Structure 1
Amino acid sequence: MRIGIDVGGTNTDAVLLDGDTVLASVKSPTTPEVTGGVEAAIRAVLTDSGIAPTAVTAVMIGTTHFVNALVEADRLAPTAAVRLGLPAGAALPPMVDWPARLRAAVSPGPSGPAVYLCHGGHEYDGSALSPLDEGELRRAAADIAARGARSVAVSAVFSPVSADAELRAAEILASELGPDVHLSLSHETGRVGLLPRENATVVNAALRELAVDIVAAFTGALAGAGIIAPLFLSQNDGTLMDVEHARTHPVATFASGPTNSMRGAAYLSGLADCAVVDVGGTTADVGVLTGGFPREASGEAELAGVRTNFRIPDVLSLGIGGGSLVDLDAPEVGPRSVGYRLTERALVFGGDTLTATDLAVAAGRAEIGDPARVAHLDRARVAAALDHIAARLAETVDRMRTSADPIPVVAVGGGSVLITGLPGFTDVRRPAHHAVANAIGAAIAQVGGEVDRVFQVPEGRRAAVLEEARAEAVAAAERAGARPGTVAVVDVEEVPLAYLPGGATRVRVKAVGDLDLTRLPALEDARA
């Protein structure tokens, strides 16, 4: 039995699954102290189902903690950035394009960002760009310690091709700085492309301390509920990571919310290829499923003004949700929202604020709160506001399409009661348990492995190189805890690098498999 939990800005949702059967589900307001809400949600599904805590075999959580910290520029550790690339790569220093408030938030002290340009790195073919200068790194470590940085991001030119420079630099920095300073390496964090990969690594490094605290809090919430099962966190690509990986790679959770919703939509609807509209309390996220997994963004992703290139789903968000403020005169809905205070502020709950949820109740689309409190609303203006919502959502879905072919649309999330249809789309579905699709997506998540690097592809060897990459991805998924025999390659992408000689080709392969529950004790022992 598995518990899936998704912590959103408005609601914390939880489900208990026995195989493919939903035994219990709960949707409760997210509390300002988020982990308390997680424990309450766990207790609620256990109480509703009558299942003993000891019967739970695994808990999967999708969380907004880390992306919220970045957006708010809060709870970020003082971080240093070490780039290995001299004599090249000196024109644009690390964090050069960051918003000023974020640079200040991660800077150790008033003298600005702690950035260090050092020798090292590789060419595209894995040959050394320049020799690593160990003395240079030790001097950088001394300055990092003096400035009080508690986390360090190490990036090297073409480290996805060869990680040797980053690994050796990490050894030197760790020996100089000691175990209390966290190290994040770019080849473990982002893809080919120095600046966005470096940005992702600095963000990850700045969140490492918070990750340790959040994982401890979640673990404590499970213990408080009497659950001894292992904990996993959802990743951006719809797969799982164990708590040790979560402590070291918090950026991998940034888009877990919409990803969980899309995976849950696929599970509940039985559709592997469709558009998904996830309407929460604050926003509506629109994405596309291909083969049962979210279509990933093809290039860089901007988060809080920072360009990154790690795995993230291709999602468009707009400020429409169940808690959105409504102006019936315009009509206009959102982007401002009452958020997790919906049950205090909405008219149907005795509040004084007209929200989108009130519109759904007034139109007879939902039985929430007290309908008598919205009986006075003009029906024509309510209908006009709901038509406005449908038109904006339909426009967003249309922007996500890559062809004019008909595409089914699956509406999920608690706010999906706002939708009965979308103009221009004839197949719009809202499946059973749609309100907690995000928690279901977390509970059914699989384990993945990925290869993304530059390969030399000699003439006549393309098939052999792709098979090598597939084997690496499958092995990576099995190392992460996938059950052998269930792992399948779900995505292969190859991009010839025409500006480089020797048949250089960037190859990305993703493989996923079912979580091997029989290995959970072994995984737990490995974490101890």
Structure 2
Amino acid sequence: MKIGIDIGGTNTHAVLVSGDGKLKMVSSSLTTPDVYTGVYRSMKALLQKSEIRAEEVKGIYIGTTELMNAVYDEKVLAKTALIRIARRPVNITPALKWPATLRRLITEPYFMESDHGYNKSGGRIADFKPLEPLYQSIADGKIDAVCIVGSYSPLYENEEVAVKNEIRKRFPEMPVTVSHSFGTLGFMERENAALLNSLLSRVIKKMLANLAEGFSSLLLECPFWLTENNGSLMSVEQAMKFPVLTLASGAANSLKGAAKLSGLQDVIAVDIGGSKVYAARVAGGDLPEVMGSSDFPGLEAGLEMPEIISLPFGTGNRPVIRKGEVELLPLLSNDIKQYGVAWGGDALTVSDCFLKLFPDAFYDPELQTEKLKYVPTNDCAMVVQYVVQKIKEILDRLQNEEKNLPIVLVGGGSPLFNPNLFGKYQKVLNPAGYPYSGAIGACDATISEVSDKVYWLNDRSKEEVVAEAASACKLEAIKKGADPDTVKLAYIEEYPFEYMKGEILRIKIKAVGEQIL
């Protein structure tokens, strides 16, 4: 048996899936501020309803939007020291275009002189004296994490590694991020990705510790994994090192889960939640990936992310009509039943507007739709038209011009959307299990390894270097727990550096395989 967990902004869902992939049981609980309590409640209910023994569960798979939400909460982020290794001081302000609340958590850069150049690797770093003020700040408790960025680290990673080792000699438990782990060539994009990773190091540590304690209290001693932005699995150890790679995992799992629930490989999946709407084209059961950070408002970072489009509202937002224009205000809480008119509350929500027009959209024994008779129908129609139009604009961007892809709606708010609302899109599905698509997608995750490195050919043929890099990438996937018989290369991309002296090649590879349990 497997357990999949989806920690969303509104609800935490858990599913029990058999070894042959069949859905056996589901449960749900409100997501709590501490995350742990919501997961514990949902898991406890799942185990009680299913009546299975704890030892029958061989793995727990978790997708979450928690870290995405944490990005904008400075109270839970790590105070980060930035070290730059370059030929001369870099005068660009770190995280220049980020919100001020995040920038103030980053120190003025510590500068260390590099002996590297574009065409040569220098020797070892000779002088670690610039780190002495940092050591004192760490000892005084003023620093929670360290981020190291070398100008030439995509070509030569040894300087970043040397500085990391020097810090770890004195502070073995200090989270240290090295920028070459993210593979991006551009200095600022790579620095921003590394900084974001460092900022999240504190919240991921607390979250994983709480989850481990909760699973243990339920007598679940099996391993657990988090899912990455690309929908593949990462171990607890990897998640501690690279929390930034989990930021989009909740949305990715839900959209991949939508395709699985529909039984189709090529769809446009739309996840309609209480606070956000996510959409993506799913091809062959997977999400295309792009280099960027389009889903992080106000942040620029060089990260490979699934090509997901999001809307900053969901069915729990509160609509206001001013001068004929619809505005959607934030949620009052993640429990719509506490304030929504259709549940006896006093705050009009997007859900209320849909239920006014489509009172039989979904069944909930707690609904009190008689209160909706006092809500103006015209106002509700304007809100419904506004929300549907925003979603249709996304669908138009994602639709394949060559064939009319079916639309699969999932998420707690998806039954509200009558297929007739989508006009030209004739095939609109709302499959059974729609609230649990994120947890189901987490259970379906594979093992993957992505390698993005620069190689000097050194009198070897390009074919030899590519073959060696591909073999190493496959081996890393196997080390992570992939079945060797199932590991295959998803892609190999080559980027020659024709403007540089010597033979040099950037090789990007992804290997994918099924997990061994």
Q: Matched residues in 1 for 2:293 and 2:467: separation?
A: 27
Q: Matched residues in 2 for 1:516 and 1:27: separation?
A: 28
Q: Which residue is 1:520 aligned to?
A: none
* Cα RMSD after superposing both structures: 2.7
Q: Which residue is 2:5 aligned to?
A: 5
Q: Matched residues in 1 for 2:7 and 2:404: separation?
A: 33
Q: Matched residues in 2 for 1:15 and 1:184: separation?
A: 34
Contact 1:122–1:159 (CA under 8 A) maintained in structure 2: no
1:420 matches 2:418? yes
Gap change, CA 1:460 and 1:276, over 3 Å in 2: farther
1:268 matches 2:261? yes
SS of the residue 2:448 aligns to: strand
Contact 1:328–1:382 (CA under 8 A) maintained in structure 2: no
Q: Which residue is 1:524 aligned to?
A: none
CA positional deviation for 1:400 = 3.5
CA positional deviation for 1:435 = 1.2
Q: Matched residues in 1 for 2:350 and 2:49: separation?
A: 29
Q: Which residue is 2:506 aligned to?
A: 506
Q: Matched residues in 2 for 1:260 and 1:55: separation?
A: 24
1:367 matches 2:368? no
CA positional deviation for 1:457 = 7.0
SS of the residue 2:334 aligns to: helix
Greater Cα offset, 389-398 or 154-163: 154-163
Counterpart of 1:453, as a letter, is K
Query: Which residues in structure 2 correspond to 1:329-368 (within 5 Å)?
Result: 330=324, 332=326, 334=328, 336-362=330-356, 363=358, 364-368=360-364
Query: Which residues in structure 2 correspond to 1:133-152 (within 5 Å)?
Result: 133-139=126-132, 141-142=134-135, 144-145=137-138, 148-152=142-146
Gap change, CA 1:280 and 1:501, over 3 Å in 2: farther
Gap change, CA 1:497 and 1:277, over 3 Å in 2: farther
Q: Which residue is 2:114 aligned to?
A: 120
Query: Which residues in structure 2 correspond to 1:420-499 (within 5 Å)?
Result: 420-421=418-419, 422-455=422-455, 463-499=463-499
Equivalent residue for 1:394, pick from 392, 395, 404 = 392
Q: Which residue is 2:301 aligned to?
A: 308
Q: Matched residues in 1 for 2:115 and 2:389: separation?
A: 50
Gap change, CA 1:426 and 1:493, over 3 Å in 2: farther
Q: Matched residues in 2 for 1:314 and 1:166: separation?
A: 31
CA positional deviation for 1:480 = 1.3
Q: Matched residues in 2 for 1:159 and 1:293: separation?
A: 31
Q: Matched residues in 1 for 2:499 and 2:331: separation?
A: 48
Q: Matched residues in 2 for 1:163 and 1:482: separation?
A: 27
SS of the residue 1:490 aligns to: strand
Q: Which residue is 1:84 aligned to?
A: 85
Contact 2:454–2:507 (CA under 8 A) maintained in structure 1: yes
Task: Spell out structure 1 runs of 4+ moving beyond 6 A.
Answer: 457-460
Query: Which residues in structure 2 correspond to 1:15-414 (within 5 Å)?
Result: 15-19=15-19, 20-87=21-88, 90-104=90-104, 106-107=105-106, 113-120=107-114, 122-123=116-117, 127-128=120-121, 132-139=125-132, 141-142=134-135, 144-145=137-138, 148-175=142-169, 177-301=170-294, 303=296, 305-327=298-320, 330=324, 332=326, 334=328, 336-362=330-356, 363=358, 364-368=360-364, 369-377=367-375, 382-401=380-399, 403=401, 405-414=403-412
Greater Cα offset, 2-11 or 145-154: 145-154
SS of the residue 2:347 aligns to: coil
Counterpart of 1:54, as a letter, is E
Q: Matched residues in 2 for 1:456 and 1:96: separation?
A: 33
Greater Cα offset, 278-287 or 508-517: 508-517
Q: Matched residues in 2 for 1:167 and 1:402: separation?
A: 45
Q: Matched residues in 2 for 1:317 and 1:301: separation?
A: 9
Counterpart of 2:362, as a letter, is A
Counterpart of 1:478, as a letter, is I
Gap change, CA 1:40 and 1:316, over 3 Å in 2: same
Q: Matched residues in 2 for 1:52 and 1:465: separation?
A: 49
Contact 1:120–1:133 (CA under 8 A) maintained in structure 2: no
CA positional deviation for 1:296 = 1.6
Q: Percent identity?
A: 30
Q: Matched residues in 1 for 2:502 and 2:292: separation?
A: 24
Greater Cα offset, 332-341 or 474-483: 332-341
Counterpart of 1:416, as a letter, is S
Q: Matched residues in 1 for 2:505 and 2:417: separation?
A: 44
Q: Matched residues in 1 for 2:471 and 2:117: separation?
A: 25
| Superposition TM-score, scaled by structure 2 size | 0.90
Gap change, CA 1:284 and 1:302, over 3 Å in 2: closer
Contact 2:11–2:31 (CA under 8 A) maintained in structure 1: yes
Greater Cα offset, 444-453 or 317-326: 317-326
Contact 1:116–1:140 (CA under 8 A) maintained in structure 2: no
Counterpart of 1:71, as a letter, is Y
| Superposition TM-score, scaled by structure 1 size | 0.88
SS of the residue 1:51 aligns to: coil
Q: Matched residues in 2 for 1:150 and 1:32: separation?
A: 22
Q: Matched residues in 2 for 1:277 and 1:129: separation?
A: 51
Gap change, CA 1:378 and 1:139, over 3 Å in 2: closer
Query: Which residues in structure 2 correspond to 1:511-526 (within 5 Å)?
Result: 511-517=511-517
Contact 1:191–1:453 (CA under 8 A) maintained in structure 2: no
Counterpart of 1:321, as a letter, is G
CA positional deviation for 1:284 = 0.4
Aligned length: 508
Gap change, CA 1:31 and 1:135, over 3 Å in 2: closer
